[in-house]
Amino acid sequence: MKENLSTLLRVRNLANGDAALYFYGEIVSDWWEAWSSADKYPEAIRRMLDGLSSEHLHIYINSPGGSVFAGMAIYNMLSRYKGRKTVHVDGIAASIASVIAMAGDVIEMPENTMLMIHRAWASVSGNTEELARYAELLAKVDNAVVSVYSERLNVTDDLERVIELMGKESYLSAAETAALFRGVSIKPPIQMAACTKNAGAIYAASMEYERLRLLEMKNTGG
């Protein structure tokens, strides 16, 4: 997309020089799959981070997850960011969004938020060989996700517990998340006034993003 859209996507707190990044939609592979202005994809994140030099990056998450490979790319990009990273779970960090949360130096979770972890799944069809190959792929995806969680465990022996929880598709409270993973800070529940203080500005930016995205699709024949 054009630079004006890239600029819009990068949100800065001009008062103290911090930067903010919001994951408030699905994690998708590219702009074509981003049906909502809240959806995020790796190239958009790369553009946001390109040239960003803020010492403190705030990452806000309320996402159901999405593409595992896109999410892993985003996790790796955020992990490489040299500034301090604070993740704020504003609602739920589910599926691959929970992996993205692990990129934070600190993960702040109000008491009324959750982390959801599960094993990779897919709906496929084919013969026995094709199904076996896909099962092997899903197992490798599970291992990739587990490797990220394992680096964050408070106690190494809890790895089997995490794998068990993934198999059950588990919704972890803030307290349960803090018991498993290091660097998790439990906060008081988010107050509605705090959530809606900047709602008008966020909505306006969201609408402008959508307008520019549709204009870009029209101009490129997409």
Q: Which of 7-11, 31-35, 90-94, 126-130 has the lowest mean pLDDT?
A: 7-11
Burial of 34 (0-12, 13-18, 19+ CB in 10 A): buried
Active-site pick, 118, 123, 125, 173: 118
**Active site (annotated) includes residue 118:** yes
Q: Which of 37, 63, 95, 98 is catalytic?
A: 95
- Which three-class secondary structure state does DSSP give residue 152? coil
The residue assigned the tokens 């590219």 is 30
- Residue 173 inside a domain? The answer is yes
Q: Is residue 221 part of a domain?
A: no
For position 198, which CATH number holds? 3.90.226.10
Q: What is the tens place of the pLDDT at every residue in 189-215?
A: 866 554 544 445 544 555 555 555 555
- Token duo for residue 11: 């949100």
Neighbour count for residue 7 (Cβ, 10 Å)? 10
Expressed as residue numbers, the domain containing 98 is: 3-212
* Residue 95 bears catalytic tag: yes
Total domains, the chain: 1
In a domain, residue 181? The reply is yes
When the pLDDT of each residue in the chain is averaged and rounded to a whole number, the result is 83
Query: What is the number of other CB atoms lying within 10 angstroms of the CB of residue 79?
Result: 14
With respect to residue 220, please indicate whether it lies within any of the assigned structural domains.
Answer: no
Strand partners, 210: none
Q: 10-14, 54-58, 107-111 — which is least confidently predicted? A: 10-14
Confidence class for position 5, pLDDT limits 50, 70, 90? very low
**Residue 116 · residue 171 · CB < 8 Å:** yes
Straight-line distance from the first to the last Cα atom of the chain, in angstroms, rounded to the nearest whole number: 12
Torsion of CA 127, 130, 135, 139, to 10 degrees: 170
Task: Give the per-residue pLDDT at 4.
Answer: 45
Query: Tens digit of pLDDT for each residue in 39-52?
Result: 888 999 998 898 78
Please give the pLDDT value at position 64: 93
- Residue 199 placed within a domain: yes
Is residue 139 within a helix (H) or strand (E), and if so which, with residue range?
helix 128-150
Residue 33 confidence (pLDDT): 66
186 occurs within a structural domain: yes
The answer to the question of residue 217 being in a domain is no
Q: How much is the pLDDT for 182? A: 97
Residue with tokens 């587990």: 146
Assigned domain for 78 exists? yes
